[in-house]
Structure 1
Amino acid sequence: MIRFSFLLSLLLFALPSLAQERWQSDQYIQDSFIKIALGREYKETKYPKLIRWNQPIKLFFESESGDSELQKELLSVHAKHLSSITGLSIEFTDNPKKANMFAIFTRYENMENKVQQYIGDPEKIRTALNEAICLGTFRRNSRYEITKGIIIIPVDYAREKARFLDCIVEEITQLLGLPNDSDDVFPSIFNDISIDTYLSPLDYILLKALYSSELKQGMDEKQTKAAFPLLLKSLHANKNIENATQQVQLHSLKRYLGD
């Protein structure tokens, strides 16, 4: 009986450490945030800074391929999900002149025309055009505030590659200020070799971190790391890390679709 009680005590003592996933550790969260928020997928920056939105997002939707009602519905659900996590206001507008984010659903054969129309010279992003299934790009001002975002999804090609939902979820999420991909960050939609279609608990934490009061746009890596202990303390206090698995599902596209 004494031996059984001793073994039971050891097991109960070990439960908290066994229950914590690797992505819930403070160091893993910090390392992941640095890779995703300060890295750049196609354009390396020597002195990267944090970027994010400081103004309400007005989202313009355009479709010339596929089921436009479904596309807008999926986009709307995910936009509301992101808004609930970050606190950003994200609303649709029918007037492109009032928009600062554009979601364009097109055909693969028309990708370059849409790039020319909404982004600029296709040759300046030739690598992305050749490699990516869908595109997302942003502009920022001198204060490192994102002022414009554009995603272009070739519906036929994305469906052919079974990445249609992935494109909607990943591209608009990255336009909020998490622009990089890394195979070292898991589980995450920012990992190109993972099978995550929807926001993961770690993605939820990264979004919470980016739009926390402890971080500011324009911070470099050194400043970000210096601010992270206080940020992590806040995330723990609000149980954002401990309850991320449950919290990421609130208002999510995954729950909406019943997956």
Structure 2
Amino acid sequence: MRAITHLKLALALAGLLALANCDEALTPSTVLQPAPAPEPATNAYVPASAASEELARYYLRVENDLLTRGMLRTDGGGPDTPYDADDLARNFEQIAFVNEHSGRTGVSAGGQSEVKLTRWKKPIRIATEFGPTVPPETRAEDREKIEAYASRLARVTGHSIRSAKSDGNFIVVIAGTDDTDYAQQRLKTLIPNIPADRLALIGNLQRPYYCFVFTFAGSGDTNTITRAVAFIRSENSDLLRLSCIHEEIAQGLGLSNDSPTARPSIFNDDDEFALLTSHDEKLLSMLYDPRLTPGMSGEEARPVVRILARELMGQSL
């Protein structure tokens, strides 16, 4: 567990849940209703408060400290981070089929439990919302980065993923500490019947947590994601904010766990890598390969996972 880390929360209302870096388990039973056409948001730019500015300085110090220690790498790995097909298969199984904080029955002595393969079936449309204190130039830059990242994820997974101005089913909220009320009200509009404890996370985040994501599954198919919400603090410095975009959206696709053995990877709590790596692209490619299906157990998927890993690494079967 990292002292300074992302809060990664994956929640499916019918039972899917993964909350990283927290021993708490939340299992609400509310069934989401279809979202009506959202009303235009009033989020004209408002300068941030002194408290928000101080928080931004804090996250800049955090980023600088991590960079000084050789963390938050953006090179994607190299000769110092070798991995083979066996490593890739093992990492996939740990990230896709093990939940360290599910709170479910059958938890092992180490606090882990097995989960089923979970991913989206419908096309993913990523809609980005900004709090009033996010400057217009930052909004434009972040939208551009998210649009490019969505295109990359679509290419990697073969799944339909793109950014959208409205009618999104994957909502990314980038907002500051001054924007709590706005963000909560906006999510109530976009996702009717969103559980109150999910909204409360936005108002109760402590400094060590930069961002989080939670996902919703349909009532009739607990292993298929139908909606997701990622929340990212706008006070994050540039690289931390981009790191949050990469990690939370990727985890919202279905790889909600972390593994200390995954390297080079953002699916690891150590903050070594800031951005999605080629290793992570392979994990997402495996997740959305048609030879795997939602609801598979780790044992059922293992033979296929090993084949996929060897194919991706160019190793003989």
1:60 pairs, out of 127, 140, 151, with 127
CA distance in 1, matches of 2:116, 2:268: 21
Residue 195 of structure 1, CA deviation: 2.3
The SS at the match of 1:185 is coil
The 1:192–1:113 alpha-carbon spacing in structure 2 relative to 1, beyond 3 Å, is: farther
Matched residue type, 1:146:
I
Q: What is the count of residue pairs matched by the alignment?
A: 217
Matched residue type, 1:56:
P
2:197 pairs, out of 79, 104, 122, with 122
Instruction: Output the aligned Cα RMSD.
Output: 3.0
Given that 1:85 and 1:207 are in contact with CA atoms closer than 8 Å, whether structure 2 keeps it comes out as yes
1:34-89 CA-to-partner distances (Å, cap 9, x unmatched) read 11112336434444101111111122111121311111011111111101100111
CA distance in 2, matches of 1:101, 1:126: 17
What TM-score does the superposition give when structure 2 sets the normalisation length? 0.60
CA distance in 2, matches of 1:203, 1:223: 22
Residue 107 of structure 1, CA deviation: 0.3
Residue 116 of structure 1, CA deviation: 7.0
**Aligned position for 2:63:** none
**Aligned position for 1:251:** none
Residue 21 of structure 1, CA deviation: 7.8
1:24 pairs, out of 83, 105, 114, with 83
CA distance in 2, matches of 1:182, 1:56: 28
Residue 198 of structure 1, CA deviation: 1.6
Matched residue type, 2:267:
F
What TM-score does the superposition give when structure 1 sets the normalisation length? 0.73
The 1:91–1:43 alpha-carbon spacing in structure 2 relative to 1, beyond 3 Å, is: same
**Aligned position for 1:145:** 224
Superposed counterparts of 1:71-82, under 5 Å? 71-82=142-153
Matched residue type, 1:87:
G
Residue 90 of structure 1, CA deviation: 1.7
Given that 1:116 and 1:122 are in contact with CA atoms closer than 8 Å, whether structure 2 keeps it comes out as no
The 1:215–1:111 alpha-carbon spacing in structure 2 relative to 1, beyond 3 Å, is: farther
CA distance in 2, matches of 1:182, 1:207: 15
The SS at the match of 2:213 is strand
Structure with greater proportional helix content? 1
Gap runs ≥5 in structure 1: 1-18, 243-259
**Aligned position for 1:107:** 176
Matched residue type, 2:122:
Q
Residue 121 of structure 1, CA deviation: 2.0
Superposed counterparts of 1:81-230, under 5 Å? 81-95=152-166, 98-111=167-180, 114=183, 118=187, 119-122=194-197, 129-130=205-206, 132-141=209-218, 142-143=220-221, 144-156=223-235, 158-159=236-237, 163-230=240-307
CA distance in 1, matches of 2:176, 2:199: 20
Identity percentage of aligned residues: 26
Matched residue type, 1:91:
R
- Which of the pair has more CA radius of gyration? 1
The SS at the match of 2:125 is strand
2:117 pairs, out of 37, 50, 58, with 50
1:85-104 CA-to-partner distances (Å, cap 9, x unmatched) read 00111233333xx3211011
Gap runs ≥5 in structure 2: 1-77, 105-112, 188-193
